[in-house]
A and B are shown apart, each in its own frame.
Chain A
């Protein structure tokens, strides 16, 4: 009976729940789904992480390669993100060139990396003007159930924390790079940006961490990226219904709380990874 009503009038079905301040999966309006993270499972990648936010699953693999720096920034390396939403994650995506949503997500991640200064590009320099590291961060969504941006940001952060780069020295005589695979060091992660997404319902109600169905019925979305000092890295509100300044402030305080939750989870995972 309820399933029939849900198919015929999904919006009304949701409104009934929202009136009681809860959602069909039993969560409160400000509650996130269970987040799990698994670091370092792909040994062919230099760093990897798998993040599950409820059913939404994103895997991030980081590969480091050599590159020549550009002439206007001879001591800066590159961080190149790419988000892939393949047809296997949901029936709404078809195979072929990246669709709109994948491109928007890729650009969003690129903005987050740039704005939050998660890695100083100078740290990726091996020899100014000659050789720098380029980190290719490939994020693949394996299961799409809404809130892809949060999952991608978290996966990226976890994977970067897991990356180990070997020591590289330039041999003066041959001018070739010598890689010492035995000596590896972790990247210097300066900030920890964490994304919190909201969906706007009926122009008034804000819910956190929307699932796929909720995103579909929403009239607008909002994503806030915060780092640890309460600094705002990125605010992504692509159109949709308008929000008052007060509501925006509420969202930001929720984002700050979420940052603490995620940071705690990350620290636990990193600690459990360290050899005892």
Chain B
């Protein structure tokens, strides 16, 4: 069987796209009722959803639900919990984690066990998920105006339901929409896209097949208005002469994503204002 041709002579990729073409993106905001902000995005076959809770008081190890405690103390806590209709605060040094001058951004990445071709044994807590969580946190700390919410915590949870390449980018895009849905002030949109390099051409928005082929891959998170890069990560070897082109392809793709996300946000706001009767 001949090797899979990632870029044909006519310039078409495996799924029929051109080199710089993005996959079809569909996004929706405000999909979940429990969360402060939520969003769902589909980039081709990659489906990711992001949920934001916050800004709220820093929850370290201190918060418990009374029902989890045993014995008489547990019953007492349960009654208190029932009357207050929520949490019972047990101060156990939870304040220690909150920062005095800005908000703490906490990101967690989880990918469903059925999201990949082979079943994933550990949906979260493994190295890759921790790394992704850290990258997301670093990306969003650059964009969210954390100085406006001192001593509080913003939780961003991202869940990947189906992974078909470009999971980091989909997560960042979904999280941007979710943070906007929650009304948390940001410096700018954060738009992300992946890029690769095959046969002297830079490809934008890699699918799983293209990622698995083993060529160089670049993940870029951009703040479009200022053109500043929030996060840049590259795997595999790439000659420095080609870096410029790949970076430009990724940046252009991120700007295209920005146009799309901007439209989604405006549409959502328009719908919300119609419902409010303005």
Partners in one complex: yes
A-B contact count (CB 8 A): 94
In the complex, B170 has a CB within 8 A of chain A: no
B115 touches A44 (CB 8 A): yes
A88: B residues at CB distance < 8 A: 35, 51, 108, 110, 157, 159
| Bound complex: CA A162 to CA B165 (Å) | 25
Contact yes or no, A92 B114, CB < 8 A: no
Given A42-B47, A44-B115, A88-B157, do A142 and B32 touch, yes or no (CB 8 Å)?
yes
Q: Are B85 and A216 in contact (CB under 8 A)?
A: yes
The complex places the Cα of A11 from the Cα of B162 at a distance, in Å, of 41
**CB–CB A213/B85 < 8 A:** yes
> Which chain A residues (240-257) contact chain B, with CB distance < 8 Å?
none
Among candidates A11, A82, A90, A94, residue contacting B34 with C-beta atoms closer than 8 Å? A90
Chain A positions within 8 Å of B108 at CB level: 87-88, 95
Is B68 in the interface zone, CB < 8 Å from A?
Answer: yes
Which residues of B are found within 8 Å of A142, using beta-carbon distances? 32, 49, 159
CB-CB contacts below 8 Å: B147-184 with A: 155, 157, 159, 161-164
Establish whether residues A145 and B34, one from each chain, have CB atoms under 8 Å apart when the complex forms. Answer: yes
A37 within 8 A of B: no
User: Is A10 an interface residue, CB under 8 A from the partner?
Assistant: yes
- Closest approach, in angstroms, between the C-beta of B125 and any C-beta of chain A? 8
Q: Closest chain B residue to A44 by CB distance?
A: B162
Q: How far is the CA of A143 from the CA of B53 in the complex (A)?
A: 13
Q: Judging by beta carbons under 8 Å apart, are B124 and A95 in contact?
A: yes
Question: Could you tell me if B119 and A57 are in contact, using CB atoms closer than 8 angstroms?
Answer: no
Asked whether, in the complex, the Cβ of B162 is within 8 Å of the Cβ of A63, the reply is no
A100 at the interface (CB under 8 A from B): yes
How far does the alpha carbon of A219 sit from the alpha carbon of B160 in the complex, in Å?
36
Contact with A along B30-42 (1 / 0, CB 8 A): 0011110000000
The answer to whether A92 and B115 touch across the interface, beta carbons within 8 angstroms, is no
A91 CB to nearest B CB, Å: 5
A140 CB → nearest B CB, Å: 6
Contacts of A194 in B (CB 8 A): none
Given the interface contacts A84-B123, A92-B65, does A143 sit within 8 Å of B34 by beta carbon? yes
Query: Does B34 contact A61, Cβ atoms closer than 8 Å?
Result: no
* Distance of B175 from chain A, by nearest CB (Å): 11
Interface residue? A272 (CB, 8 A): no
Is B68 touching A140 in the complex (CB atoms < 8 A)? no
Which residues from 23 to 50 on chain A have a C-beta closer than 8 Å to any C-beta of chain B?
Answer: 41-45, 48
9 smallest CB-CB distances across A and B, nearest first, come from: A61-B114, A88-B157, A45-B114, A55-B33, A88-B51, A143-B32, A63-B119, A138-B113, A10-B85
